Protein backbone atom coordinates (compact mmCIF):
# COMPACT_ATOMS: atom_id res chain seq x y z
CA UNK A 1 0.00 0.00 0.00
CA UNK A 2 2.85 2.35 0.90
CA UNK A 3 4.50 1.63 -2.44
CA UNK A 4 1.24 2.42 -4.26
CA UNK A 5 1.01 5.80 -2.53
CA UNK A 6 4.58 6.62 -3.46
CA UNK A 7 3.92 5.68 -7.10
CA UNK A 8 0.71 7.73 -7.16
CA UNK A 9 2.47 10.74 -5.69
CA UNK A 10 5.27 10.41 -8.24
CA UNK A 11 2.81 10.19 -11.12
CA UNK A 12 0.95 13.31 -9.94
CA UNK A 13 4.21 15.23 -9.64
CA UNK A 14 5.24 14.18 -13.14
CA UNK A 15 1.92 15.36 -14.55
CA UNK A 16 2.31 18.75 -12.86
CA UNK A 17 5.80 19.12 -14.28
CA UNK A 18 4.57 18.16 -17.76
CA UNK A 19 1.63 20.59 -17.68
CA UNK A 20 2.08 23.94 -19.45
CA UNK A 21 2.61 27.04 -17.33
CA UNK A 22 -0.57 28.56 -18.76
CA UNK A 23 -3.69 27.51 -20.60
CA UNK A 24 -3.81 28.99 -24.09
CA UNK A 25 -6.54 31.58 -24.66
CA UNK A 26 -8.76 30.80 -27.66
CA UNK A 27 -10.38 33.78 -29.38
CA UNK A 28 -12.79 33.23 -32.28
CA UNK A 29 -12.82 35.86 -35.00
CA UNK A 30 -16.31 35.50 -36.52
CA UNK A 31 -16.80 37.36 -39.80
CA UNK A 32 -19.88 38.12 -41.86
CA UNK A 33 -18.90 35.56 -44.47
CA UNK A 34 -15.80 33.66 -45.50
CA UNK A 35 -14.09 34.43 -48.80
CA UNK A 36 -14.33 38.21 -48.29
CA UNK A 37 -10.99 39.95 -48.84
CA UNK A 38 -11.69 42.55 -46.17
CA UNK A 39 -12.10 39.89 -43.51
CA UNK A 40 -9.18 37.86 -44.78
CA UNK A 41 -7.08 40.98 -44.15
CA UNK A 42 -8.68 41.38 -40.70
CA UNK A 43 -7.66 37.80 -39.93
CA UNK A 44 -4.09 38.62 -40.88
CA UNK A 45 -4.08 41.32 -38.22
CA UNK A 46 -5.79 39.02 -35.73
CA UNK A 47 -3.06 36.42 -36.20
CA UNK A 48 -0.42 39.14 -35.72
CA UNK A 49 -2.03 40.03 -32.40
CA UNK A 50 -2.09 36.38 -31.33
CA UNK A 51 1.60 36.00 -32.15
CA UNK A 52 2.44 39.19 -30.27
CA UNK A 53 0.47 38.13 -27.20
CA UNK A 54 2.13 34.74 -27.28
CA UNK A 55 -0.46 32.63 -25.46
CA UNK A 56 -3.44 33.24 -27.76
CA UNK A 57 -4.91 31.12 -30.55
CA UNK A 58 -7.21 32.89 -33.02
CA UNK A 59 -9.89 30.73 -34.64
CA UNK A 60 -10.91 32.39 -37.92
CA UNK A 61 -14.45 31.38 -38.80
CA UNK A 62 -17.76 32.48 -40.25
CA UNK A 63 -20.60 31.32 -42.49
CA UNK A 64 -20.46 30.93 -46.26
CA UNK A 65 -23.53 33.16 -46.63
CA UNK A 66 -23.76 36.58 -44.96
CA UNK A 67 -26.90 35.93 -42.89
CA UNK A 68 -27.68 36.23 -39.20
CA UNK A 69 -29.02 32.69 -39.11
CA UNK A 70 -25.76 31.28 -40.42
CA UNK A 71 -23.74 33.31 -37.92
CA UNK A 72 -25.92 32.07 -35.06
CA UNK A 73 -24.99 28.50 -35.99
CA UNK A 74 -21.32 29.46 -35.88
CA UNK A 75 -21.72 31.12 -32.48
CA UNK A 76 -23.54 28.09 -31.06
CA UNK A 77 -20.70 25.85 -32.24
CA UNK A 78 -18.15 28.11 -30.55
CA UNK A 79 -20.13 28.00 -27.30
CA UNK A 80 -19.98 24.20 -27.46
CA UNK A 81 -16.21 24.43 -28.01
CA UNK A 82 -15.94 26.64 -24.90
CA UNK A 83 -13.77 29.30 -26.51
CA UNK A 84 -12.61 32.11 -24.23
CA UNK A 85 -13.78 35.02 -26.37
CA UNK A 86 -15.69 35.84 -29.54
CA UNK A 87 -14.94 38.88 -31.72
CA UNK A 88 -17.72 39.20 -34.29
CA UNK A 89 -18.73 41.41 -37.22
CA UNK A 90 -22.49 41.01 -37.16
CA UNK A 91 -24.87 40.49 -40.07
CA UNK A 92 -27.73 41.71 -37.85
CA UNK A 93 -27.45 43.79 -34.65
CA UNK A 94 -30.39 42.19 -32.86
CA UNK A 95 -30.83 38.64 -34.17
CA UNK A 96 -27.46 37.58 -32.76
CA UNK A 97 -28.13 38.90 -29.26
CA UNK A 98 -29.70 35.76 -27.71
CA UNK A 99 -26.86 33.50 -28.91
CA UNK A 100 -24.20 35.93 -27.75
CA UNK A 101 -25.94 36.35 -24.40
CA UNK A 102 -25.74 32.57 -23.96
CA UNK A 103 -22.04 32.82 -24.70
CA UNK A 104 -21.53 35.52 -22.07
CA UNK A 105 -23.55 33.54 -19.53
CA UNK A 106 -21.02 30.74 -19.99
CA UNK A 107 -18.14 33.10 -19.30
CA UNK A 108 -17.19 33.79 -22.94
CA UNK A 109 -16.14 37.39 -23.55
CA UNK A 110 -17.82 39.08 -26.52
CA UNK A 111 -16.52 41.94 -28.64
CA UNK A 112 -18.20 43.14 -31.81
CA UNK A 113 -16.14 44.92 -34.44
CA UNK A 114 -16.83 46.52 -37.82
CA UNK A 115 -20.60 45.83 -37.80
CA UNK A 116 -21.94 46.01 -34.29
CA UNK A 117 -24.16 43.97 -32.03
CA UNK A 118 -26.76 45.65 -29.81
CA UNK A 119 -25.18 46.58 -26.44
CA UNK A 120 -26.96 43.81 -24.55
CA UNK A 121 -25.29 41.22 -26.79
CA UNK A 122 -21.65 42.25 -26.31
CA UNK A 123 -19.27 43.87 -23.86
CA UNK A 124 -17.36 46.14 -26.26
CA UNK A 125 -17.94 47.32 -29.81
CA UNK A 126 -15.04 48.55 -31.95
CA UNK A 127 -16.04 50.81 -34.81
CA UNK A 128 -13.40 50.99 -37.55
CA UNK A 129 -13.83 54.75 -37.56
CA UNK A 130 -16.19 57.41 -36.25
CA UNK A 131 -19.63 57.07 -37.84
CA UNK A 132 -20.18 60.74 -38.74
CA UNK A 133 -16.73 60.99 -40.32
CA UNK A 134 -17.31 57.88 -42.45
CA UNK A 135 -20.68 59.21 -43.63
CA UNK A 136 -19.16 62.52 -44.64
CA UNK A 137 -16.20 60.81 -46.27
CA UNK A 138 -18.25 58.62 -48.62
CA UNK A 139 -20.23 61.64 -49.86
CA UNK A 140 -17.08 63.75 -50.19
CA UNK A 141 -15.45 61.05 -52.31
CA UNK A 142 -18.19 61.63 -54.88
CA UNK A 143 -18.59 65.39 -54.39
CA UNK A 144 -14.88 66.11 -54.90
CA UNK A 145 -15.25 65.02 -58.53
CA UNK A 146 -18.60 66.74 -59.12
CA UNK A 147 -17.79 70.46 -58.84
CA UNK A 148 -21.21 71.40 -60.27
CA UNK A 149 -23.00 68.80 -58.16
CA UNK A 150 -25.00 65.86 -59.47
CA UNK A 151 -27.07 62.74 -58.82
CA UNK A 152 -25.60 59.94 -56.72
CA UNK A 153 -26.91 56.58 -55.50
CA UNK A 154 -25.76 54.33 -52.68
CA UNK A 155 -25.25 50.59 -53.10
CA UNK A 156 -25.09 49.17 -49.57
CA UNK A 157 -24.67 45.69 -48.08
CA UNK A 158 -27.55 44.08 -46.16
CA UNK A 159 -30.46 46.29 -45.16
CA UNK A 160 -29.91 45.15 -41.57
CA UNK A 161 -26.13 45.84 -41.45
CA UNK A 162 -25.59 48.09 -38.44
CA UNK A 163 -22.52 49.87 -39.71
CA UNK A 164 -23.81 50.44 -43.25
CA UNK A 165 -27.08 51.93 -42.00
CA UNK A 166 -25.32 54.24 -39.56
CA UNK A 167 -22.92 55.49 -42.25
CA UNK A 168 -25.77 56.08 -44.70
CA UNK A 169 -27.75 58.09 -42.14
CA UNK A 170 -24.63 60.15 -41.40
CA UNK A 171 -24.12 60.69 -45.13
CA UNK A 172 -27.71 61.86 -45.56
CA UNK A 173 -27.31 64.26 -42.64
CA UNK A 174 -24.12 65.75 -44.12
CA UNK A 175 -25.55 66.48 -47.58
CA UNK A 176 -27.74 69.56 -46.90
CA UNK A 177 -25.09 71.47 -44.96
CA UNK A 178 -21.80 70.36 -46.53
CA UNK A 179 -22.72 69.05 -49.99
CA UNK A 180 -25.89 70.95 -51.04
CA UNK A 181 -25.33 70.28 -54.76
CA UNK A 182 -25.37 66.52 -54.27
CA UNK A 183 -28.71 64.80 -54.86
CA UNK A 184 -29.06 61.31 -53.37
CA UNK A 185 -31.57 59.58 -55.66
CA UNK A 186 -31.64 56.04 -54.25
CA UNK A 187 -30.28 53.56 -51.72
CA UNK A 188 -30.23 49.89 -52.73
CA UNK A 189 -28.91 46.75 -51.05
CA UNK A 190 -26.66 44.05 -52.49
CA UNK A 191 -26.36 41.95 -49.31
CA UNK A 192 -22.55 41.82 -49.64
CA UNK A 193 -23.12 39.30 -52.43
CA UNK A 194 -21.31 39.97 -55.70
CA UNK A 195 -24.12 38.64 -57.90
CA UNK A 196 -26.86 40.62 -56.19
CA UNK A 197 -24.67 43.73 -55.96
CA UNK A 198 -24.04 43.49 -59.70
CA UNK A 199 -27.78 43.25 -60.37
CA UNK A 200 -28.48 46.26 -58.14
CA UNK A 201 -25.76 48.33 -59.85
CA UNK A 202 -27.21 47.51 -63.26
CA UNK A 203 -30.63 48.49 -61.96
CA UNK A 204 -29.35 51.88 -60.81
CA UNK A 205 -27.82 52.65 -64.22
CA UNK A 206 -31.07 51.64 -65.95
CA UNK A 207 -33.33 53.58 -63.56
CA UNK A 208 -31.20 56.76 -63.51
CA UNK A 209 -29.66 57.39 -66.94
CA UNK A 210 -28.17 60.70 -65.74
CA UNK A 211 -26.56 59.18 -62.65
CA UNK A 212 -23.16 60.74 -61.89
CA UNK A 213 -21.81 58.47 -59.17
CA UNK A 214 -22.44 55.20 -57.33
CA UNK A 215 -21.25 55.16 -53.72
CA UNK A 216 -20.77 51.69 -52.23
CA UNK A 217 -19.68 51.64 -48.56
CA UNK A 218 -18.96 47.93 -48.89
CA UNK A 219 -15.89 46.25 -50.38
CA UNK A 220 -18.06 43.73 -52.24
CA UNK A 221 -20.50 46.27 -53.64
CA UNK A 222 -17.90 48.78 -54.78
CA UNK A 223 -16.10 46.18 -56.91
CA UNK A 224 -19.39 44.97 -58.40
CA UNK A 225 -20.48 48.51 -59.28
CA UNK A 226 -17.12 49.40 -60.84
CA UNK A 227 -17.23 46.24 -62.93
CA UNK A 228 -20.72 47.11 -64.18
CA UNK A 229 -19.62 50.64 -65.13
CA UNK A 230 -16.63 49.14 -66.94
CA UNK A 231 -18.69 46.49 -68.74
CA UNK A 232 -21.32 49.01 -69.86
CA UNK A 233 -18.68 51.42 -71.15
CA UNK A 234 -19.80 54.17 -68.75
CA UNK A 235 -16.27 55.10 -67.60
CA UNK A 236 -16.07 58.87 -67.47
CA UNK A 237 -19.84 59.18 -67.09
CA UNK A 238 -20.42 57.40 -63.76
CA UNK A 239 -17.77 57.55 -61.04
CA UNK A 240 -17.77 54.61 -58.62
CA UNK A 241 -16.51 55.29 -55.12
CA UNK A 242 -16.92 54.17 -51.53
CA UNK A 243 -15.00 51.83 -49.25
CA UNK A 244 -12.64 49.44 -51.02
CA UNK A 245 -9.68 47.16 -50.47
CA UNK A 246 -6.80 48.60 -52.52
CA UNK A 247 -5.68 45.17 -53.75
CA UNK A 248 -9.16 44.33 -55.05
CA UNK A 249 -9.93 47.77 -56.45
CA UNK A 250 -6.67 48.91 -58.05
CA UNK A 251 -7.81 47.88 -61.55
CA UNK A 252 -10.72 50.32 -61.39
CA UNK A 253 -8.56 53.24 -60.33
CA UNK A 254 -6.23 52.29 -63.18
CA UNK A 255 -8.99 52.12 -65.83
CA UNK A 256 -10.77 55.28 -64.66
CA UNK A 257 -14.01 53.71 -63.42
CA UNK A 258 -13.16 55.27 -60.07
CA UNK A 259 -11.30 58.42 -59.10
CA UNK A 260 -10.79 57.59 -55.43
CA UNK A 261 -11.96 55.32 -52.62
CA UNK A 262 -11.26 55.09 -48.90
CA UNK A 263 -10.92 52.50 -46.15
CA UNK A 264 -9.44 52.00 -42.73
CA UNK A 265 -6.84 49.33 -42.41
CA UNK A 266 -8.65 45.97 -41.91
CA UNK A 267 -5.40 44.44 -40.70
CA UNK A 268 -5.38 46.92 -37.82
CA UNK A 269 -9.08 46.27 -37.22
CA UNK A 270 -8.65 42.52 -36.74
CA UNK A 271 -5.53 43.14 -34.65
CA UNK A 272 -7.36 45.61 -32.39
CA UNK A 273 -10.42 43.38 -31.97
CA UNK A 274 -8.26 40.52 -30.70
CA UNK A 275 -6.38 42.86 -28.36
CA UNK A 276 -9.68 44.01 -26.83
CA UNK A 277 -11.01 40.47 -26.52
CA UNK A 278 -7.83 39.32 -24.83
CA UNK A 279 -7.95 42.26 -22.41
CA UNK A 280 -11.43 41.15 -21.32
CA UNK A 281 -10.22 37.56 -20.89
CA UNK A 282 -7.35 38.89 -18.76
CA UNK A 283 -9.87 40.56 -16.44
CA UNK A 284 -10.11 44.16 -17.63
CA UNK A 285 -13.60 45.58 -17.14
CA UNK A 286 -15.62 47.19 -19.94
CA UNK A 287 -17.35 50.34 -18.68
CA UNK A 288 -18.07 53.81 -20.07
CA UNK A 289 -14.92 55.91 -19.87
CA UNK A 290 -12.58 52.92 -19.60
CA UNK A 291 -9.44 53.11 -21.73
CA UNK A 292 -8.04 50.01 -23.42
CA UNK A 293 -4.71 49.51 -25.13
CA UNK A 294 -4.92 48.14 -28.67
CA UNK A 295 -1.22 47.46 -28.96
CA UNK A 296 0.64 49.10 -31.82
CA UNK A 297 -2.55 50.84 -33.01
CA UNK A 298 -2.80 52.93 -29.81
CA UNK A 299 -5.63 53.04 -27.32
CA UNK A 300 -9.39 53.58 -27.28
CA UNK A 301 -11.79 54.99 -24.70
CA UNK A 302 -15.30 53.53 -24.43
CA UNK A 303 -18.35 55.76 -24.83
CA UNK A 304 -21.70 55.49 -23.03
CA UNK A 305 -22.54 52.30 -24.93
CA UNK A 306 -19.10 50.71 -24.42
CA UNK A 307 -18.19 51.46 -28.04
CA UNK A 308 -15.06 53.11 -29.42
CA UNK A 309 -13.66 54.16 -32.80
CA UNK A 310 -10.29 52.91 -34.04
CA UNK A 311 -9.08 55.43 -36.65
CA UNK A 312 -10.08 57.72 -39.52
CA UNK A 313 -10.52 56.28 -43.04
CA UNK A 314 -7.69 56.80 -45.51
CA UNK A 315 -8.11 57.83 -49.17
CA UNK A 316 -6.68 55.83 -52.06
CA UNK A 317 -6.30 57.29 -55.55
CA UNK A 318 -3.94 57.11 -58.52
CA UNK A 319 -1.14 58.65 -56.46
CA UNK A 320 -0.94 55.84 -53.88
CA UNK A 321 -3.06 52.85 -54.93
CA UNK A 322 -0.07 50.89 -56.25
CA UNK A 323 1.71 51.10 -52.92
CA UNK A 324 -1.23 50.05 -50.78
CA UNK A 325 -2.42 47.33 -53.16
CA UNK A 326 0.76 45.48 -52.21
CA UNK A 327 -0.22 45.57 -48.54
CA UNK A 328 -3.95 44.66 -48.44
Which pLDDT score, from 0 to 100, does residue 37 have? 87
Residues 6+ apart with CB under 8 A from 184: 152, 153, 154, 171, 172, 175
Residues 6+ apart with CB under 8 A from 244: 216, 219, 222, 223, 258, 261, 262, 263, 316
Is 14 a residue whose pLDDT tops 60?
no
Q: Tell me how far apart the alpha carbons of residues 49 and 178 are, in angstroms, rounded to a whole number.
A: 39
Is 38 a residue whose pLDDT tops 50?
yes
pTM over 0.85: no
Which pLDDT tens digit goes with each residue over 42-85? 999 999 999 999 999 999 999 999 999 999 999 999 999 999 99
Is 2 a residue whose pLDDT tops 80?
no
Q: In the predicted model, what is the mean pLDDT of residues 146-167?
A: 95
Which pLDDT score, from 0 to 100, does residue 327 have? 81
Is 321 a residue whose pLDDT tops 90?
yes
Which pLDDT score, from 0 to 100, does residue 23 have? 59
Q: In the predicted model, what is the mean pLDDT of residues 189-216?
A: 97
Element (H, E) at 188: strand 182-189
SS (H, E, C) 94-154: CCCHHHHHHHHHCCCEEEEECCCCCHHHCCEEEECCCHHHHHHHHHHHHHCCCCCCEEEEE
Q: Tell me how far apart the alpha carbons of residues 220 and 162 are, in angstroms, rounded to a whole number.
A: 16
Give SS3 for 213.
strand
Q: In the predicted model, what is the mean pLDDT of residues 119-130?
A: 96
Which pLDDT score, from 0 to 100, does residue 154 have? 98
Q: In the predicted model, what is the mean pLDDT of residues 228-232?
A: 98
Which pLDDT tens digit goes with each residue over 161-188? 989 999 999 999 999 999 999 999 999 9
Is 278 a residue whose pLDDT tops 80?
yes
CA torsion sign, 326 to 190 to 214 to 154? negative
- Kindly list the structural domains of the chain, giving each domain's residue range(s) and its CATH number in brackets, ordered by start: 24-128+266-310 (3.40.50.2300), 131-263 (3.40.50.2300)
How high does pLDDT run on average in the chain? Answer: 92
> Of 14-28, 70-84, 178-192, 272-286, which gets the smallest average pLDDT?
14-28
Which pLDDT score, from 0 to 100, does residue 312 have? 80
Amino acid sequence: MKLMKILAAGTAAALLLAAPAYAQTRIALVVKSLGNGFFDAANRGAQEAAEELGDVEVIYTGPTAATAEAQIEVVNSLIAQQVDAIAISANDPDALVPALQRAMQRGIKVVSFDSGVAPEGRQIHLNPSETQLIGETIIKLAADYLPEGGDVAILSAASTATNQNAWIEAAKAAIPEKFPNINLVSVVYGDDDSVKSTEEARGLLAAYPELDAIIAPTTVGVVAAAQVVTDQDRIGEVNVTGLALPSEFKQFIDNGASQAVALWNPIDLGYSAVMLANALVEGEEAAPGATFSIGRVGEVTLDDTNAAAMAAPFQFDASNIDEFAEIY
